[in-house]
A and B are shown apart, each in its own frame.
Chain A
Amino acid sequence: MSKKLINKARGLSDKAIAWIFITPTVLLLLAINIYPLFYAISMSFTNFYANKIGKEIKWVGLKNYIKVLGKESVWERMQITANFMFWTLLIQALIGLGLALLLNKKFKGNELLTTLIVLPMMLSPAVVGTFWTYLYNPQVGVFSYIMNFFYNFGPIDMIGSSVLAPWSIVIVDTWMWTPFTMLICLAGLRSIPDYLYEAAEVDRASRWQQFIYITLPSVLPFLLLALLFRGIENFKMFDMVVELTSGGPGSATELASIQLKREAFEKWKTGYSSAYAVILFVTIFGFGNVYVKVMNKIKDR
C-alpha cells in the first residue's frame, strides 16, 4: 500500500501533504458532526415529525424552546442527571486516585492486578446494565445475597425502590469506570520526576508534606482531565441506565438523555426534541468550557 502512495506522492510539496493529511478528518467531522448539529438547530425552530412523511413542515420560532424550558419534567430530569454526575464523579475521583496511589507503590504483581481491575471498563455498558438487573434481583441475585452476609437486611430491592434506584446506577457506573480515573491518575503519578522527591528529602520535608506539595499538585491536572471525560460521558449517559432501570421506578432514574431519546425516537417529535438536544448541548458545552478554563489555570499554577 505504502509503495503506491509513495510513487504517487513523489514531488508533492509539504503544504500539499499537510492538506491531504488533514482534509479527510475535517471533512468527516463536518459531515457527521457539524452538519447534523446545524440541521438539528434549524429543525428546532419547526414542528417537524420525522415519522410523518409528507406532512408540511412549519416554522414555529422559539416555541419549542419555550415548551422545553417550561416543562417541569425537563427540569426534574436535569436534576436527576446532575445528581448522578455529582455522586459518580466524586466517588470515582476518590477511589480512582486512592487506587492509583496504592498501585504506584510497585509491589509484586501489580501489572497483573492493574489489568484485572481494568476489565469492567471493557464490557459493553448496555450489557452491563442488563446483567446488573440480574445481580440486583432481590431473590435470585448475588448482590442482595452478599449484602445479607454482612447484615441481615432482608431482600434488597435496588431497582424498584425510588430511594435506592438512583444509587443503583451510581454503583454500577462506579464499578465500571473507576478504573478509567485510576489509569489516568496512575499515568500522572508515573510522570512525576524522582528528583522532585529527592529535592524534598534534602529539604527534610515529611512524607505528608511531600504528598501535599508534590504528589497532589502533580496528579491534580490528570485527575481533573479524567473527570472531564467522565463528566462528558455521564452527561450523555444512556445505554447502561436504560438497560438497568429503563428510567424507573416512575422516572426516578430517567436521565435527560433518556427522556430525549423517548421524545426523539419514540414520539418522533423531531422539532421539539431538536430544541431539547440543542439546550443539552449548550449546557455541556458551557460547563465544559468553564471547566477547561479552570483546569488550565490549575495546571499553570
Chain B
Amino acid sequence: MEYYMKNKFIILISSLVFALFSSTSAKSESITLGWAAWDPANALVELSKGFTAETGIDVNFEFVPWPNFADRMLNELNNQGKTFDLLIGDSQWIGGGAVYGHYVKLNDFFDQEGISMDDFSDATVYAYSTWPKGTPNYYALPAMGDALAWAYRKDWFDRPELQSEFQAKHGYDLGVPKSWDELYDMCTFFQGREIDGQVRYGAAINTERGSEGITMGVTAAMYAWGMQYENPDKPYEMEGYFNAPHVVEAVEFYKKMYEDCTPPGHSDAYMGANLDAYKSETVAFQMNWYAFWPGVSKEDADGRVTGFFANPCQETCAATLGGQGLSVVSYSDKKDLALEYMKWFAKPDVQAKWWSLGGYSCHKDVLGASDFVDSAVYAQGFLDSMGIVKDFWQEPTFVELMLPMQEHIHDYVVNGKGTAKAALDNIIEEWVEVFEADGKL
C-alpha cells in the first residue's frame, strides 16, 4: 500500500508542476520564433526586446542546436505543426518550404508594406528568399548573411623567427594565404610545431559526419576549384561537371589537408569542435562561419591575436554560403503578428542595431554605410565573401541529396576508402536516383 501512496504523491506533484507550466505559457499576445541555438540567436533575443517594447507583443524563442536543427525543424514543418509562427530556416530549405507550402509567400505583403527586396543585397535575396531560384517569388526575408571563412593566429604569424623560417622554406611571406596551395604550405608549417612549449597543429576544418559538416567544408575547396553541380545549359546533368577532373583534385586536396594539417582526433568536427580547437590554442587556422567571428574577436579586443580572411581562391574565387532567411510558417494561427514582426525587423534602424549586436544584416543601408568596413575587422571579408557565395542544392529534396554527399565524402576523406573520383561518382549515382524519384529527371 505504501508503494501506491508514494505513486499517488508523485502523480500529484507532477500534475501540479504540469499545471504550473501550462498556465505560465498561456499569454494573450505572443509569437514564437524558431532558429538554431548559437551566438546570433542570443543577439536576436536582445534585439527583439525592442519589438516587444514597441508593440507589446511578446516573442518566445525556440532554439534548436545545430546537429538537430534540420531534423527537428523539418519534422515540425512536415507535421504541419503550429509551434512556430516565424522560422529562420536554413537557405537550403527554401525549395521545400515553397513547394510543400510550409512557408507563406511574401510578395503581396512586401508590396503592401513597401518592403523592397532591392534594399537587400542581391546575393542574399537570391540565396535566402527566392524559389524557383532567381525569380521574384519571395518566401523569406534575408535575415542573417553568412559564409564560410577562416580565422588565423595573427600573433604566431607575426613572430619574426617564424616569418624568416617560413620565408626560407617557401620563398614567400607568411601572411594571409592567397590560395589553397599557400594555405596548405602554412598549415603544414605549423603542424606539429612547438610554440611556447606546446605542440600546435595546422588547421581545424569541417569533417563532421552526422549532419552537413564535411559537405560544408569540402565544398569550400570544390567551389574554389570551380566546381559546378550541373550543366548550366542542361539542369540536373551532373556527369562531367560534378565529377570533373578539377573537382576530383579539390576533393583530393581536402583529404590532404585533413591528413597533413588537422590535430589528432579531428575526424567528426564542425562549428563547435573547430572553435574549441582554436580556443584551446591547438591550431593556427580554423574554418568557420562568419556568425562566430564576433564572439572570437570580442575575446581579443585589441586584435593582436586573431586575424580573419575570406575563403582563399584557387582556380577561381568562391565561398560556401551559410545564413538564413526569416519566414512565416503557413500553419501558424498568428500570421498577422508574425508579419508585424517581419515588418519591424526589415526597418533600416533595426537592421543597423542587428549588426551592432552581432547579427549579420543583409540590408544595403547597413552594408553600404561608410563606416561599415571599419566597424569590425572581419567586415570587409564578409562583404567580399557575400559577393562570391555558392550554395548546396536548394531543392525540396536537399536532405536526400545531402546524406549521400556526407557519407561518401566522409568515407573518402576521413576513412580513406576508395578514391575521390569514386566518391563523386557514387554521389552522382544516388543524386540521379533522387531526382528521378522526384520527377526532375
Contact = CB atoms under 8 A, between A and B. Distances in A.
> When A and B assemble into the complex, do they touch directly, with CB atoms less than 8 Å apart?
yes
Q: In terms of DSSP, what is the predominant structure of the interface of chain A?
A: loop
A267 B403 contact: yes
A1 B4 contact: yes
Contact of A50 (B78, B263, B264): B78
B414 interface: yes
Interface in A1-22: 1-2
B262 to A, nearest CB: 9
A159 to B, nearest CB: 6
Interface in A229-261: 242, 245-252
B400 interface: yes
A155 B265 contact: yes
Contact of B411 (A242, A250, A267, A268): A250
Nearest to B269: A160
B415 A248 contact: yes
Interface residues of A, number: 35
Interface in B248-279: 263-268, 277
A198 interface: no
Contacts of B4: 1-2
Contacts of B400: 266-268
A2 B282 CA distance: 65
Q: In terms of DSSP, what is the predominant structure of the interface of chain B?
A: loop
Interface string A21-46: 00000000000000000000000000
B407 interface: yes
Given A249-B415, A250-B412, A133 B268 contact: yes
A282 to B, nearest CB: 25
In this complex, the member of B100, B267, B400, B416 whose beta carbon has the largest number of chain A beta carbons within 10 angstroms is B267
A4 B227 CA distance: 75
B264 A248 contact: no
A207 interface: no
Contacts of A113: none
Contacts of B25: none
B78 A140 contact: no
B132 interface: no
Contacts of B78: 50-51, 53, 268
B135 interface: no
A124 interface: no
Interface string B178-216: 000000000000000000000000000000111000000
Given A249-B410, A266-B71, A160 B210 contact: no
Contacts of B75: 265
A299 interface: no
A160 B410 contact: no
Interface in A161-182: 161-162
B432 interface: no
Given A1-B4, A139-B280, A246 B414 contact: no
Given A133-B268, A246-B268, A162 B209 contact: no
B280 A140 contact: yes
A155 B411 contact: no
Interface string A118-155: 00000000000000010011111100000000000011
Nearest to A51: B78
B417 interface: yes
Contacts of A268: 78, 399-400
Given A1-B4, A139-B280, A266-B403, A160 B100 contact: no
Interface of B: 4, 8, 71, 74-75, 78, 80, 100, 208-210, 263-268, 277, 280, 282, 399-400, 403, 407, 410-412, 414-417
Given A50-B78, A137-B265, 13 more contacts: A53-B80, A138-B265, A154-B264, A160-B266, A160-B267, A246-B208, A246-B209, A248-B210, A249-B209, A249-B411, A250-B414, A266-B400, A267-B399
In the A-B complex, the 9 residue pairs with the smallest Cβ-Cβ separation, listed nearest first, are A160-B267, A250-B411, A250-B415, A246-B210, A248-B209, A138-B265, A155-B264, A138-B264, A249-B415
